[in-house]
Structure 1
Amino acid sequence: MSGSPNPYFTMNSPYATIVDAREFNAALFAEKIDRALRAGEKDVVIKVLTGISNNQRQALREPYKLKYGKELVDALDKKFSGDAEKVIFALMDTPLDYDVKQLKQAIKGLGTDEAVLIEILCSRTVDQLRAIRAAYEKQYGKQLEKDVAGDTSGEFKDLLVSLVTGSKDGSHDTNDVQAKDDAVRLFADGKAKLSKKEGSNFLQILATQNQYQLRKVFAYFQELAGTDIEKLVEKEFSGDLRNSYLTIVRAASDKQKFFAQQLHASMKGLGTRDNDLIRVLVSRSEVDLELIKTEFQTLYNKNLEDVVKGDTSGAYRDALLSIIHGNHQ
C-alpha cells in the first residue's frame, strides 16, 4: 500500500483549525471531562474535545474506562442529544471510522443519501478509499462496492463502483500527450450529445486519472472548447451522475473551493442539512479548514462563523463554532 500507513493522518497540517494540544495528559483530560459531565457543563466538554486532536481524543478512551468503568462515548451519549450529539460522536470517531459509518448510513434503509456517497467517494484520496473499503468489509461483513451497486444504477453506479474498487491512479504522474488526447475525447462527447448514448469517456477518464493529470485535461479542454469542463458537465448530465462528475472535477481542480461550496449548500435556503454541515467541518478540521474558511469568504462574501452562528443554536452551535475557530491560536 502506497502512502503513509494511515492515509488519514495529516500530522498537524498548517491549514488545520485543530492540531495536537501541547499540554495534553490523557488521564487528566479524562477526569476533566467526567467532572464536566457530572456537573452538566456541556460547554466545558465541548471545549475539551475541540481543544485536542483526533489522536488525542482516541487516547482518552482507555484511561476513562479504567477509572470510571464505562465507555467515554456512552457517558457522552447520556448528556448530549440531537445535532450536538452528532457532532460529539463525529469528533470521537477516527476519521476513517466516521467515513465508513457515513457511507453505511447513506446506503441502509429506505432511500439512498446520494449526496453523502458522492461527497465521500468522489473526494477522498486513493489510499483513503482503499482504507474505507477494507474497514467497511471488516465492520459490516459486506463489500462496499456490492452495497453501493445495489443502491444505484446506470453510469452513476459504474462510476461509484469504479472508485470504490480502486481504479483511480494514486500517483502524481502527468502526461501531456494523453491529457490533450483525453480533452479531445471529452470535447467530442459534448459535440455528440453524450447523454443520449450509453456510457461516456467521462466515466473512463474521471474515474481513473489522478487529480494532477485531470487538471491538465481540464486546462486543454478549456483551450479547445473555449469553456470550462464544469459547464459541459452541467449541460450534458443530470441528477446524481452530474453531481458526481462535478464533485470529481471540483475536488481535482480545487478541493477547498469544493468543500466551501458543500458548506454553503448545507446551509442555504430553508432548513439546514446538518449531517452535511457536521461532516465537512469535522472531517476537514485537521486537514484544510483554515483554507476552506478563506475560500468561503471569497466565494460568498460572508464569514463562515457568522453563517453557522445564524443557522444553528445551543450546544450544537457552540461545538461547530469551536471547530471552526480551532485550537492553534
Structure 2
Amino acid sequence: MLFKSSINQFVSFRMTSPYATIVDNKEFNAPIFAEKIDRALRAGDKDAVVQVLTSISNAQRQLLREPYKLKYGKDIIAAFDKKFSGDLEKTIFALMETPLDYDVKQLKAAMKGLGTDEAVLIEILCSRTVDQLRAIRVTYEKEFGKALEADIAGDTSGEFRDLLVSLVTGSKDGSHDTNDALAKDDAVRLFADGKAKLAKKDGTHFLHILATQNQYQLRKVFAYFQELSGGTIEKSIEKEFSGDLQKSYLTIVRAASDKQKFFAQQLHGSMKGLGTRDNDLIRVLVTRSEVDLELIKTEFAELYSKSLADMVKGDTSGAYRDALLAIINGNHAIAH
C-alpha cells in the first residue's frame, strides 16, 4: 500500500512540460478512475471513456491497469479491445501505451508483413533524442527477441539503411556541445558533396554528419552551409537526393532546426489531399501531447492560417474526432 501511494505521489509531483496539452490531474485516484472506465464501458459510452483517458496523463493511465485488473478480473486493454474498433481503437491504445512502448510497437508494425512503412521509420528514428533512441533499441530487442538494427537492415537498403542503422546503434552525439571550426569544416564537406554530385561509393558526408552531430552543432553547420552555398541545406538535399533517403535527411534537418515546425508539417501532411493518414495523425498528436503540442498548435496556425483543431474537425468524424480534439484542447481546465 505504501509503495502504491508513493507511485501516486511521484505522478502528482513529477516535472511536466509547460508546452504540454495533457498534464497530471491533481484529482486523480486510480481505483476511482478505473471504476469510471468500467462504468462507461458497460454502458457503451465511448465518449465517457475518451473523457476519462484524456483528463489524465500517460503516467496516470498506467496506474489504472492494476486496480482495474484487481477489481474486475480482466486486463483493461482487453476490455477496450472488445468495445472499440478502427481509428478510435488505435487512439485509445496509443493513449494507454507508454511513449517508449508505443514507439517500439509502431516501428515493429512498420516492418511487419509485406512492404515497409518507411514514413514511420523516418519520423521516429530521425526525430527522437539520443536517449530515446537508446531506450527504443533496448526495449525493441527485449520485446521481440531481435535487434532493431537487424530488422531495419532486412527491410531497407543502400544509404537509407545505413543512415537508420547508424542512428539506432548510437552514433549521434547526445551533448549540447558546439564547435565553430568543425561546423565550418563540415559545411565545406557537405558543399563539396553536392558539387561532386554525390559520387561516393562509401556513403556521403551527409550520412556521417547528419547521423552523428547533435542538433545544436547541426544548426551551426546549416548556417555556415547557407553562407557558403547561398542556399539552404534543405534545398540542397531536395536537389541531390530522392525517395526515402531525401525524406530522412530532410527530417533530421527539420527536427534539428525547429522540431515544432517539423511536427506541424507532419500533422498537415497527414490530413492534406484525399484521405487522411490516420496512423500518422494519431501518433504525432499522442506522442507530442505531453511534450510540446501547445507550441505545435501555434506553429500550425502560423504556417497554414488555420487552427489544428479546425483541420482535424474537417478531416475526421464521430467519437474518433472528439478523441483527437480532446488531446489537442488538453486537460488544463480540469486537471488543476
Q: TM tier, shorter chain?
A: over 0.9
Displaced runs of 4+ in structure 1, greater than 6 A?
Answer: none
Aligned amino acid, residue 197 of structure 1: K
Residue number among 106, 110, 124 corresponding to 1:102 in the alignment = 106
Task: Output the CA distance in 2 between the equivalents of 1:160 and 1:18.
Answer: 31
Q: CA deviation at 1:172?
A: 0.5
> TM-score, normalized by length of structure 2?
0.94
Aligned amino acid, residue 274 of structure 1: D
2:260 is equivalent to residue 256 of structure 1: yes
SS at match of 2:212: coil
Task: Output the CA distance in 1 between the equivalents of 2:40 and 2:75.
Answer: 16
Task: Output the CA distance in 2 between the equivalents of 1:268 and 1:242.
Answer: 20
Aligned amino acid, residue 320 of structure 1: L
Show the counterpart of 2:283.
279
Q: CA deviation at 1:254?
A: 0.3
2:186 is equivalent to residue 175 of structure 1: no
Show the counterpart of 2:313.
309
Q: CA deviation at 1:11?
A: 2.6
Task: Output the CA distance in 2 between the equivalents of 1:119 and 1:261.
Answer: 12
Residue number among 208, 212, 218 corresponding to 1:214 in the alignment = 218
Aligned amino acid, residue 109 of structure 1: G
Aligned amino acid, residue 118 of structure 2: E
SS at match of 2:273: coil
Residue number among 33, 46, 67 corresponding to 2:50 in the alignment = 46
SS at match of 2:146: coil
Per-residue deviation, residues 145-180 of structure 1 (Å, max 9, x unmatched): 000000000000000000000000000000000000
**Larger CA deviation: 175-184 vs 71-80:** 71-80
Per-residue deviation, residues 273-329 of structure 1 (Å, max 9, x unmatched): 000000000000000000000000011111100000000011110110000000013
2:21 is equivalent to residue 13 of structure 1: no
Structure 1 segment 150-229 matched on structure 2, within 5 A? 150-194=154-198, 196-198=199-201, 199-229=203-233
Q: CA deviation at 1:108?
A: 1.1
Q: CA deviation at 1:197?
A: 3.4
Task: Output the CA distance in 2 between the equivalents of 1:87 and 1:73.
Answer: 12
Q: CA deviation at 1:193?
A: 1.2
Task: Output the CA distance in 2 between the equivalents of 1:193 and 1:92.
Answer: 47
Residue number among 236, 246, 249 corresponding to 1:245 in the alignment = 249
Per-residue deviation, residues 231-264 of structure 1 (Å, max 9, x unmatched): 0000000000000000000000000000000000
Q: CA deviation at 1:223?
A: 0.8
Identity %: 82
Q: CA deviation at 1:226?
A: 1.0
Q: CA deviation at 1:97?
A: 0.3
CA RMSD, Structure 1 to Structure 2 (Å): 0.8
* Gap runs ≥5 in structure 1: 1-9
* Gap runs ≥5 in structure 2: 1-13
Show the counterpart of 2:299.
295
Report how many residues are paired. 319
SS at match of 1:286: coil
Per-residue deviation, residues 16-72 of structure 1 (Å, max 9, x unmatched): 000000100000000011011111111111000011000000000000000000001
Aligned amino acid, residue 254 of structure 2: R
Q: CA deviation at 1:215?
A: 0.4
2:129 is equivalent to residue 129 of structure 1: no
Structure 1 segment 140-159 matched on structure 2, within 5 A? 140-159=144-163
Show the counterpart of 1:7.
none
Aligned amino acid, residue 297 of structure 1: A
SS at match of 1:207: helix
Task: Output the CA distance in 2 between the equivalents of 1:163 and 1:12.
Answer: 27
Show the counterpart of 1:114.
118
Task: Output the CA distance in 2 between the equivalents of 1:50 and 1:234.
Answer: 39
Task: Output the CA distance in 2 between the equivalents of 1:158 and 1:97.
Answer: 24
Q: CA deviation at 1:78?
A: 1.1
Task: Output the CA distance in 1 between the equivalents of 2:79 and 2:156.
Answer: 38
